[in-house]
Amino acid sequence: MKNYVKKLESILLLTFVAFLVNAQNEQPAKPFFENGEAQIVKAFEDQAYWIREDLWVETEFDSDGDGRLDRMHVDVTRPRETETEGLKLPVIYNSSPYFAGTAGNDPAYFHDVKHELGEPGKPITHPTEIQRRGKRPIISTGHVNTWVPRGYIVVHSSSPGTGLSDGVPTVGGDNESLAPKAVIDWLCGRAKGYTTRTGNEEVKAYWSTGKVGMTGTSYNGTLPLAAATTGVEGLEAIIPIAPNTAYYNYYRSNGLVRSPGGYLGEDVDVLFDFIHSGDESKRAYAREKIRDGEMKEGMDRITGDYNDFWAGRDYLNKMDNMKAALFMSHGFNDWNVMPEHSYRIYEAAKEKGIPAMIYYHQMGHGGPPPLSMMNRWFTRYLFGVENGVEDEPRAWIVREDAEMSDPTPYKDYPNPDASMVELHLKAGAPAKGELAIQQPSKQGKETLVDNYSFSAEALAKADITEHRLIYVSPVLKEDVHISGKPVITISAASSKPAVNLSVYLVSLPWNEGRRVKITDNIITRGWADLQNYKSLRESEPLKPGKFYEMTFELQPDDQVIKAGQQIGLMIFSSDSEFTLLPKPGTELTVDLDKTTIKIPVVGGSEAFLNAIQN
């Protein structure tokens, strides 16, 4: 009752203030638009008059096994006019497992990576309990300063099993899609919200137009896509920034156990521990059912094979119902959540006829599109303003020396003028061999010796070493523009039943100066397990000395390699930043005559030939 009286007093005060304001203004405050963008409304800027409240939205699932439907903790920040003037506005919604705190990124809690391939590492150590942070009613202040002044309501929610939300974390499981769906259903009047976690006093979103957009970065960028794949009505547009769109692609690579960059030894169970900040009384159940049950059984760090566990955590498999307008954003040098994650979903959305646009930059993890581009996207699909965004170029690429606010428009990505240039290998080990556009005469085989104590950078810079094979183009006389995904076909043999296979495309000579961008030398990378040469779902031990042929893609890129550089293909085994690290000594032999690399070059073979011959 006290809360009700307090809320009534606040509403009366806001109504009185609005009366005074309106007495001096002919029209009440409302959104307005210029150049196809929602503009800042002066009356919406004053945070002192924002209404902030929290509530719990009931979902359609019970993932914590207590016999009650899980409720998600939600906060709302809205202009006072939604109360005093009855103004209805669209919503920018951001959901996350991080809002209430995390366990930290201590490598002590990661998996052991120093062991032979196909063998288990040491048992994992789990972190101590996360102590929830934050005070009600504010779950997060993210996005409010940007979007509330422009005439939006901003909503946040904590993911299942985190903060004050019920449920368990599943790291890509169905409840992580259905939780934001429930919040959107509530915003559209189809689900129930309550003032408390267990009570029956309802809260309605009478201030919502029923038009919702979602955005966020990394895990927070994954959840907009997760919600969109449910086909929920009212979710009109999403802007995922560096989203993880498939947990297999995040923790594996073509059958190989491969860590995300900067988190050597992380896996899906480590991420579970990292985010599990929910109700202490439910944590034992969650650990037993999810982390030590479903995850332990399905993640398979022994073979690295693709299976139903991973398929269920791949949003590409769930796009049948998706219809929200999609604006992807990613960095070409994001070696945490790699750039393929956005590209694969962008391609699928185009095939489905969904409005889709992509923004790529040359930096690392994160990095939203310019605010004006995001504004135009949300203005078009949430306010319905005909600003022509759907007729603009589909791809926007920040060139190497440009600011993030100054992307170059292209008809699409990859650049439609790019075509594959097939390059062949000429022997040269242990020094550098050559990349040739013409098939050379028989080159035979060359062998490297695995040793993880040499970094990829050290191997690329070395003039002579037995620990990698490298093949370089002639010095470029003209710039070469690469746009798309290089594809390698490799024929190789191992001296052991399993071997790491790492492939880098690099630009040489190595820049030893101060780096302004992250793009100076690494063009792109890829990893694979030769045991999966037939299938990602079924690996088979290698017969030592037998050659196996495997074709796989490297990460997508769009980069201009400057005249004076050489393009190099580097093949090595264990990657000290990404792979398991077995005892040095495994030999990897490559059949040069049956190995090729196809590089997507703007202008195709003619442009490449001109660059190496002029």
Q: Which residues contact 165 (CB under 8 A, 6 or more apart)?
A: 56, 70, 71, 72, 73, 157, 158, 159, 179, 278
Contacts of residue 100, defined as CB under 8 A and 6 or more positions apart, other chains included, come to 130, 132, 133, 134, 139, 158, 162, 163, 164, 277, 278
CB count within 10 Å of CB 280 equals 11
The total of other beta-carbon atoms located within 10 Å of residue 467's CB is: 19
For the chain, give the longest Cα–Cα distance: 89
Q: How many CA within 13 A on the CB side of residue 372?
A: 8
Q: Which residue has the tokens 């769906």?
A: 181
* CA dist list (Å): 30 to 43, 150, 340: 9, 9, 41
Distance between CA atoms of residues 47 and 49, nearest Å: 5
List, as one string, the DSSP characters of 309-327. Answer: HHHTTBGGGGGGG--SEEE
Distance CA 475, CA 574 (A): 28
Instruction: Please write down the HEC assignment for all residues of 377-403.
Output: HHHHHHHCCCCCHHHCCCEEECCCCCC
The span from the CA of 385 to the CA of 363, in Å, is 32
Q: Which residues are catalytic?
A: 218, 334, 365
Do 606 and 419 touch, CB atoms closer than 8 A?
A: no
